[in-house]
Each structure stands twice: as C-alpha cells, then as structure tokens.
Copies of this chain bind each other. A is one copy, B any other.
Amino acid sequence: MENIDYEAIHEELFIMLDQHMIKELRLTLAEMNEYDISEFLGELWEEDQTRMGMVYRLLPKEIAADVFANLEVEEQETIINSVTDTELAAIVEELQVDDAVDMMEELPANVVKRVMRSANPSTRALINQYLKYPENSAGSIMTAEFIDLKKYMNVRESLARIRKIGEDRETIYVCYVTSAKRRLEGVVTVKDLLLADDETIIEDIMDTNVIFAKTTDDQEEVTEQFSNYDLIAIPVVDKEGCLVGIVTVDDVIDVMEQEATEDIEKMAGITPSVKPYSRTSVFDIWKNRIPWLMFLMLSATFTGMVMTHFEDALAAQVVLAAFIPMLMGTGGNSGSQASTAVIRSLSLGDIEPSDVLEVIWKEIRVAVLCGISLACINFVKMLVVDKILLHNSDVTIIVAATVSLTIVFVVMFAKAVGSTLPIIAEKIGVDPAVMASPLISTITDTVSLIIYFNIARVFLHF
C-alpha cells in the first residue's frame, strides 16, 4: 500500500481539463477524497476562476457540499457566482449549519443576501439563529446535526433510529438523550448500544454525568474539555438547558489550530487574521502588522529620553554605549522567555491567575540563577575577548563589573515583569498573549538603561 501521489493526480486532472476530457475528469474526481478535490480546486482557482466554477459543477452531488465546505471563502464566492439559484439552494441545504455560518460570516453582504434568499425558510431561520451567537463561542462552532434519543427507547429502537437519520449527521457515535422539552438528560455511545442487549432500555445504560458546554462558552474552554475528557463530541445547551447542538472533534481540531495561530501571532505583535498567510494581500498584512510596530516605535521615545538624560555620562564614557545593545537584548530575551512560559501555561490551564505569587517567586529564583551565570560568563568574556583579544583598552575591570552587575538586575527585572504582566492581563480580562516579547522588550529596554546608568554612576563616579 502506497500513499497517493497527489501532484501526479493534479497534473493528470489539468491535462484532462485542457483536452476537454470531461467524462474522464468527472470519473477521476468521483474517486477522490473531498479534501483532495478542494485542494485541486484551490490550485485551479488561482489560475482560472471560471474553469474552477465549471469543474465544481462536475462533482457528484453527495460530495459537492463537503468539498464546498473545505474551500476558502473567495473560492466559495466564485462558485456561488457561477451557479443558478436552484443549484445554490441545493448547496446550502446540503451544508452543515456550522459550515454555512462560517461562510456567511466572511462573504460580502450582497452575496450573503443572495444565499439567504435561495435557502429554504427553515434553513434560513437556523442560519440566522446561529449567526447571533458571539464569535468564537461554542454556539458559533456547533452544528445542529446530532442524534437524539429518548430514555424510554430500547437499544433496538435506538439503533433503528440511528440507521434512519444517521446518514447526514455529523457524528452517529455519540447520541444524546433528551426530554420532551428537549432538555439534555444523558448521553449514550454507539459502543454502549452495540455492547448491550437489544431490549435494554436507554435509561439503564445512559450516562447522566454529561460533560457539556453552554452556547456562550468560549471555544477555548470547549477545546480544553475535549483534551481533558477525550471526547469525540460535546453537547451544547442553551440557557434553559435545552440541547441545541453539538461540537465534534474535527471542528475542535480546526479551532485548536486557529487558536494556537492567533496566540502565536499576538505574541509577535501581529493582529490575528482568519486567512492563511499565502492568501492574505500585502496591504492586509501591512494592516495587521503596522499598529504594534507604530505603538512600539513611539514608546521607544522613553528609551530615547533616558539616553538623552545620561548624554553627558555617555560622552565621558563612550565605552558604555558598546554594551547597551547586549544589555537590552538580554533583558528582552529573558523577559520574553518568562512571558511566553506563563502565557502558554495560562492558555493550557496549567496555572491560574491566583497562582501569581508562586509564579513570581519561581521566576525570581530562575532569574537569580540565569542572571548570575550570565554575569559570570560576561565578566570573563569582556576581560578576555573585548579587552585582550579586541584590544579595547577602555574595558577595565570596573567597566566589566558594571556591565555584569547590570545583567543580574536586568534579568531579574525582566523575568519579574515578563511573568507578572500576562497574569495581570488575564485577571483584568485582556488576552495575556498581548503581553509577549514586543511589549515586554520595550518596557525592559527603558528600565535596563536606567539600571545601567545608575550602576555606572556609582562605580565610575560621574
């Protein structure tokens, strides 16, 4: 068994297309996986949007909706613009509600209007209801296609119901037991059903200790529950405790990737965007990056003020300037190590804002170890490399001691600030990821300089 060579297949598909071998194209596509077809359509889209719309219409009806759901929004728009209203209605009806909602949130308003007009009234109502859930909430990522059972049913009846309605459900492996008023009462897996006798009553095998989410829960909490409890789906209930949808594990995997990307982007001072990098325009990338760059550049006014304040000292001891980049770099790196560790631990639920004192105490001890080891190496390095090897006669033992002592304090300050700020952010409801290297570096830059010049003043008497 060999993994399939998709590049070869894509090439073949392009040849069929160029030679108008429509029948072969249709047959080959029908054999392919939804994801691979959507990858092919994405490639085609970049070359020729019209042909892409045409190829989409060759797909067998059963897989067309799944392929559609896998496409990027711009590609979906191309297809929507190339089909008739009747065809559009068919696509919308076949889509899972969560996929339809994802798409609606990003399509331009006039296209949304046309899609909504072509959907049938019940679908339209469902989409509208979902669109009301806050972004990134459990409600916004759930789907309505689940299997519900009643507690008085027996296993045979339940399996029959699964066979009857299971075809188009997002998962059939976890079934939810609801009351007449749709309140969630328990959960039963297909494994439970298969391992039980046909006549067993659901009430006797269902698990009433259900892990569930509320529609308003943040999607990050939902992913945490999946990772803690090894779920393949989680039921979502509304304020009244009624079951309104489920979130399945495949959607959670996408959410996890998206959340990790967002955290990483925020930590690098980039405004997160939903589009992949390769599809984001130069102008949009600029828009996502310039705010932090601008803010950080302007806040460096403070470091400039400190430098100007100590101008005379600098003019008298120009050798001091040579070590400023190293001190600021070491401070920034120490601080961002601490903030990164804390931000990630907060987001994985390993530490809570209430652990703040413990975390600071730990970071201070780490900082003492790091600071002293860096200072020792630096002291030796300045005397051996800078003084002897590079013949810099301005580097004296006093200068080396000044710089090395500064390192100890700078690292301690950086680690303390780096670990505290993300926790404070979490406490006041700001995303801790914002308190990452760029901001921490800017703060430690200014303070490093103040520490440096004050120690220098004492040691070098100016």
Contact = CB atoms under 8 A, between A and B. Distances in A.
Given A191-B166, A373-B294, A304 B326 contact: yes
Nearest to A445: B325
A250 to B, nearest CB: 4
A33 B297 contact: no
A252 B278 CA distance: 26
Contact of A195 (B163, B261, B442): B163
A351 B437 CA distance: 25
Interface in A263-310: 263-265, 267-270, 276-278, 282-283, 285-286, 289-290, 292-294, 296-298, 300-301, 303-305, 307-308
Contact of A1 (B210, B308, B441): B210
Contacts of A318: 311, 314-315
Nearest to A296: B333
Interface stretch (A102-110, A137-145, A338-346): A338-346
A212 interface: yes
Contacts of A19: none
B329 A307 contact: no
A209 interface: yes
A420 to B, nearest CB: 15
Contacts of A293: 330, 333-334, 337, 370, 374, 411
Nearest to A326: B300
A106 B270 CA distance: 37
A81 interface: no
B253 A297 contact: no
Copies in the assembly, this chain: 2
A114 interface: no
B282 A212 contact: no
Contacts of A385: 301
B350 A278 contact: yes
A237 B1 contact: yes
Nearest to A186: B1
Contact of A325 (B173, B268, B300, B350): B300
Interface stretch (A56-64, A225-233, A454-462): A225-233
Q: Which of under 10, 10 to 19, 20 to 34, or 35 or more describes the interface residues of A?
A: 35 or more
A438 interface: yes
A323 interface: yes
Nearest to A243: B1
Interface stretch (A20-28, A115-123, A126-134, A361-369): A361-369
A305 B390 contact: yes
B276 A348 contact: yes
Contacts of A286: 366, 369-370, 373
A298 B385 CA distance: 10
B326 A261 contact: no
A257 B256 contact: yes
A1 B183 contact: yes
Nearest to A371: B293
B191 A265 contact: no
A159 interface: yes
Nearest to A289: B337
A280 to B, nearest CB: 9
Nearest to A164: B195
* Residue among A190, A260, A334 with the highest chain B CB neighbour number at 10 A: A260
B249 A227 contact: no
A315 B173 CA distance: 75
A50 B285 CA distance: 56
A277 B350 contact: yes
Given A167-B195, A268-B337, 16 more contacts: A33-B229, A190-B194, A230-B250, A260-B260, A263-B264, A264-B344, A269-B337, A276-B345, A289-B370, A290-B373, A293-B411, A308-B319, A308-B390, A314-B314, A315-B315, A325-B449
9 contacts: A33-B211, A226-B253, A270-B341, A297-B378, A297-B407, A300-B326, A321-B324, A324-B324, A328-B328
